[in-house]
Amino acid sequence: MGVVPSYLVETYLARSGADARGERDRRARSAAAELAQKGSRIRFVGSTYVPEDEMCFFTFDAASSDVVRRAAELAGLEAMRVVEAVPSGKARP
Protein backbone atom coordinates (compact mmCIF):
# COMPACT_ATOMS: atom_id res chain seq x y z
CA MET A 1 0.00 0.00 0.00
CA GLY A 2 2.99 2.33 0.42
CA VAL A 3 3.37 4.82 3.24
CA VAL A 4 -0.03 6.15 4.29
CA PRO A 5 -1.12 7.85 7.50
CA SER A 6 -2.58 5.97 10.44
CA TYR A 7 -5.85 7.05 12.03
CA LEU A 8 -7.59 6.29 15.32
CA VAL A 9 -11.36 5.99 15.50
CA GLU A 10 -12.40 6.77 19.07
CA THR A 11 -15.55 5.01 20.27
CA TYR A 12 -17.37 4.45 23.54
CA LEU A 13 -17.48 0.85 24.79
CA ALA A 14 -18.98 0.23 28.23
CA ARG A 15 -17.35 -2.38 30.42
CA SER A 16 -20.62 -4.29 30.40
CA GLY A 17 -20.42 -4.49 26.59
CA ALA A 18 -16.72 -5.27 26.28
CA ASP A 19 -17.48 -8.74 24.92
CA ALA A 20 -18.74 -6.95 21.76
CA ARG A 21 -15.21 -5.86 20.89
CA GLY A 22 -14.49 -8.93 18.76
CA GLU A 23 -17.61 -8.29 16.68
CA ARG A 24 -16.63 -4.64 16.25
CA ASP A 25 -13.17 -5.72 15.07
CA ARG A 26 -14.75 -8.08 12.55
CA ARG A 27 -17.03 -5.33 11.23
CA ALA A 28 -14.14 -2.85 11.00
CA ARG A 29 -12.00 -5.36 9.11
CA SER A 30 -14.86 -6.18 6.77
CA ALA A 31 -15.66 -2.50 6.10
CA ALA A 32 -12.01 -1.71 5.33
CA ALA A 33 -11.79 -4.71 2.99
CA GLU A 34 -14.98 -3.66 1.20
CA LEU A 35 -13.71 -0.11 0.67
CA ALA A 36 -10.31 -1.41 -0.45
CA GLN A 37 -11.99 -3.63 -3.03
CA LYS A 38 -13.74 -0.53 -4.36
CA GLY A 39 -10.38 1.24 -4.77
CA SER A 40 -9.88 3.11 -1.48
CA ARG A 41 -6.48 2.92 0.17
CA ILE A 42 -7.38 1.56 3.62
CA ARG A 43 -6.39 -1.28 5.93
CA PHE A 44 -7.72 -2.16 9.40
CA VAL A 45 -4.80 -2.59 11.80
CA GLY A 46 -6.51 -3.50 15.08
CA SER A 47 -8.13 -2.08 18.19
CA THR A 48 -7.17 -1.08 21.71
CA TYR A 49 -9.68 -1.14 24.56
CA VAL A 50 -9.23 1.06 27.65
CA PRO A 51 -11.69 -0.41 30.20
CA GLU A 52 -11.10 2.24 32.86
CA ASP A 53 -12.21 4.97 30.43
CA GLU A 54 -14.71 2.77 28.58
CA MET A 55 -13.06 3.76 25.29
CA CYS A 56 -12.09 1.64 22.31
CA PHE A 57 -9.72 2.89 19.62
CA PHE A 58 -9.72 1.32 16.16
CA THR A 59 -6.58 1.84 14.09
CA PHE A 60 -6.63 2.11 10.32
CA ASP A 61 -3.95 2.90 7.76
CA ALA A 62 -5.63 4.95 5.05
CA ALA A 63 -5.16 7.60 2.41
CA SER A 64 -7.40 10.07 4.29
CA SER A 65 -9.55 10.58 7.34
CA ASP A 66 -12.61 10.69 5.07
CA VAL A 67 -12.00 7.08 4.01
CA VAL A 68 -11.66 6.07 7.67
CA ARG A 69 -14.90 7.86 8.55
CA ARG A 70 -16.67 5.92 5.78
CA ALA A 71 -15.26 2.65 7.12
CA ALA A 72 -16.39 3.53 10.66
CA GLU A 73 -19.89 4.34 9.42
CA LEU A 74 -20.05 1.16 7.34
CA ALA A 75 -18.93 -0.87 10.37
CA GLY A 76 -21.42 0.87 12.69
CA LEU A 77 -18.68 1.99 15.08
CA GLU A 78 -20.40 5.26 16.12
CA ALA A 79 -17.15 7.22 16.04
CA MET A 80 -16.80 10.03 18.54
CA ARG A 81 -13.87 11.33 16.51
CA VAL A 82 -11.29 10.31 13.91
CA VAL A 83 -7.75 11.60 14.35
CA GLU A 84 -4.41 11.02 12.67
CA ALA A 85 -1.91 9.06 14.77
CA VAL A 86 1.81 8.53 14.27
CA PRO A 87 3.00 5.13 15.57
CA SER A 88 6.58 4.84 16.79
CA GLY A 89 9.00 3.98 14.00
CA LYS A 90 6.68 5.28 11.27
CA ALA A 91 7.51 8.48 9.47
CA ARG A 92 4.74 10.85 8.48
CA PRO A 93 4.14 10.88 4.72
| Residue 46, helix vs strand vs coil | strand
Q: What dihedral do alpha carbons 70, 12, 8, 19 form, nearest 10°?
A: -90
CB atoms within 10 A of CB 64: 16
Q: Which of 55, 51, 47, 48 is nearest to 12 (CA)?
A: 55
| Mean pLDDT across 31-35 | 98
What dihedral angle (degrees, nearest 10) is formed by the CA atoms of 38, 66, 76, 7? 110
pLDDT, mean of residues 3-27: 90
Residues 74, 58: Cα–Cα separation, whole Å: 14
pLDDT at 8: 97
pLDDT digits (tens, 9 = 90+) for 44-53: 999 999 999 9
